[in-house]
Amino acid sequence: MAAWSLVHGLATLVLDGAIAPQPGTDLEALARAVTHRLSGRTDPR
């Protein structure tokens, strides 16, 4: 549930314009990077 909330919140911020990624940004990769960064995991899977 926490992962869903994190990704849903990120999507909401992007859709509302609070986060404005550069054109062409891979949003799936962005979501993966954010969840990886906040998970504390050391492997990049």
* Segment 5-40, tens digit of pLDDT: 989 999 999 999 999 999 999 999 999 998 888 877
Reported as a pLDDT band with limits 50, 70 and 90, residue 44 is: low
pTM for this one?
Answer: 0.71
Decide if 31 contacts 7 (C-beta within 8 A): yes
pLDDT at 24: 94
The distance from CA 13 to its chain's CA centroid, rounded to whole angstroms, is 10
pLDDT at 3: 81
Domain boundaries, the chain: 2-39
Residue 45 has pLDDT above 60, yes or no: no
Q: How far apart are CA 27 and CA 12, in angstroms?
A: 12
Q: How far apart are CA 39 and CA 3, in angstroms?
A: 9
